[in-house]
Amino acid sequence: MNTQSDSALVIANAQKTYRNGFTALKGVSFDVKQGEFFGLLGPNGAGKTTLISAMAGLAHLSQGHINIMGFDTRKQPNQARMSLGVVPQELVFDPFFTVRETLQFQSGYFGIRKNDAWIDELLHKLHLSDKANTNTRNLSGGMKRRLMVGQALVHRPPVIVLDEPTAGVDVELRQSLWAFIKELHGQGHTIILTTHYLEEAQSLCNRIAMMKKGELVALDSTANLLRSSNGVRIAMTLSAALPEALRKWQIPSTGTEIILQLSEYAQLAYVLSTLQYEYVAVKTLNILENDLEQVFLRLMQDNTKGVVTC
């Protein structure tokens, strides 16, 4: 029976140990409120896919439980699955059906009849209308990914999980896909996003959880996580090479700008005086805002235990 809650997803002490002894999840706990745009981030091997598989009922936890819209994924699997739509990272398609037939069969899996109006809307929103009668084997990779989004949404689930939805797609598809997802979010859908494009998570997600080696290492609002980033980064273009005394602060960058990671603003005076002493002119200098990538890298390199909240 559905329990009354404002949480769309509740994960409590999720643990998963495989038969070979490998532990993929080590007591992960967090909840996602209804209507949130939530980010689940971590490097490869962090346990994100295992957690999503457990949410979808494709893997069973060794300990703990998961509730989706109040339905326990083990005790009420059918109701939980009806409440969830998952767009997997891997491209999965049936080469024997057209795009429309694929969505019609997917509707049938959930016992939904007379779903043509919603299927037509999905095809339109995902820019697949002109491919409706095309066999899926003849679709490009980007078109197949759009179709997978349609399959996840065909039963109108209140909770949508997007696992690397824009991996390997072009800019046009990425923009159109996010426009549609933002529209769904505006209608009240709960969105859970995993992505390696951290700028996407920073701009879209209200709150973020970060995982490393099966454990939760951060859980907070995006704004608080950005404020937690220590130090200051400056970007400069110079008339000559960076002096040796300043290279300890240099971090990798693309382009012609030199990026320095300082511990505090007071060190900027030392940087400028050193450049002046070495007769290196500063052509441009900008103080960079903190971004999620810097927070992410710091947390992944940090060996201390505990969940970061700000």
**Residue 18 included in any domain:** yes
- Identify the three-state secondary structure at position 282: strand
| Domain shared by 120 and 18, yes or no | yes
pLDDT at 256: 87
- pLDDT above 90 for 305: no
| Domain shared by 91 and 212, yes or no | yes
| Domain shared by 63 and 190, yes or no | yes
β-bridge partners, 162: 87, 193
- CB–CB of 183/122 below 8 Å? no
Choose from 5-9, 110-114, 280-284 the range with maximum mean pLDDT: 280-284
- pLDDT above 60 for 4: no
**Residue 1 included in any domain:** no
| Domain shared by 86 and 21, yes or no | yes
CATH code where residue 104 lies: 3.40.50.300
When divided into structural domains, the chain yields a total of 2
pLDDT at 81: 94
CATH code where residue 282 lies: 3.30.70
3-state secondary structure string, 206-267? CEEEEEECCEEEEEEEHHHHHHCCCCEEEEEEECCCCCHHHHHHEECCCCCCEEEEECCCHH
At 206-241, the pLDDT tens digits run 999 999 999 999 999 998 888 776 678 899 999 999
At 7-54, the pLDDT tens digits run 999 999 999 999 999 999 999 999 999 999 999 999 999 999 999 999
**Residue 295 included in any domain:** no
| Domain shared by 204 and 252, yes or no | no
- pLDDT above 60 for 101: yes
- pLDDT above 80 for 118: yes
pLDDT at 302: 72
pLDDT at 308: 54
At 195-206, the pLDDT tens digits run 988 989 999 999
- pLDDT above 80 for 121: yes
| Domain shared by 235 and 209, yes or no | no
- CB–CB of 73/97 below 8 Å? no
Cα-flanking dihedrals φ and ψ of residue 14, to 5°? -70, 120
Q: Give the structural domain span for 250.
A: 231-289
| Domain shared by 79 and 64, yes or no | yes
| Domain shared by 243 and 118, yes or no | no
**Residue 299 included in any domain:** no
pLDDT at 306: 57
Mean pLDDT of the chain: 90
Mean pLDDT on 276-288 = 94
- pLDDT above 60 for 5: yes
pLDDT at 309: 56
pTM confidence score: 0.81
- CB–CB of 95/136 below 8 Å? yes
At 239-263, the pLDDT tens digits run 999 999 999 999 888 788 999 988 8
Query: At 304, is the pLDDT very low, low, confident or very high (cuts 50, 70, 90)?
Result: low
**Residue 120 included in any domain:** yes
Give the side-chain half-sphere CA count within 13 A for 3. Answer: 14
| Domain shared by 279 and 192, yes or no | no
**Residue 98 included in any domain:** yes
pLDDT at 2: 52
User: Given 183, 204, 226, which residue is the final one in a domain?
Assistant: 226
Query: At 310, is the pLDDT very low, low, confident or very high (cuts 50, 70, 90)?
Result: very low
**Residue 195 included in any domain:** yes
| Domain shared by 189 and 66, yes or no | yes
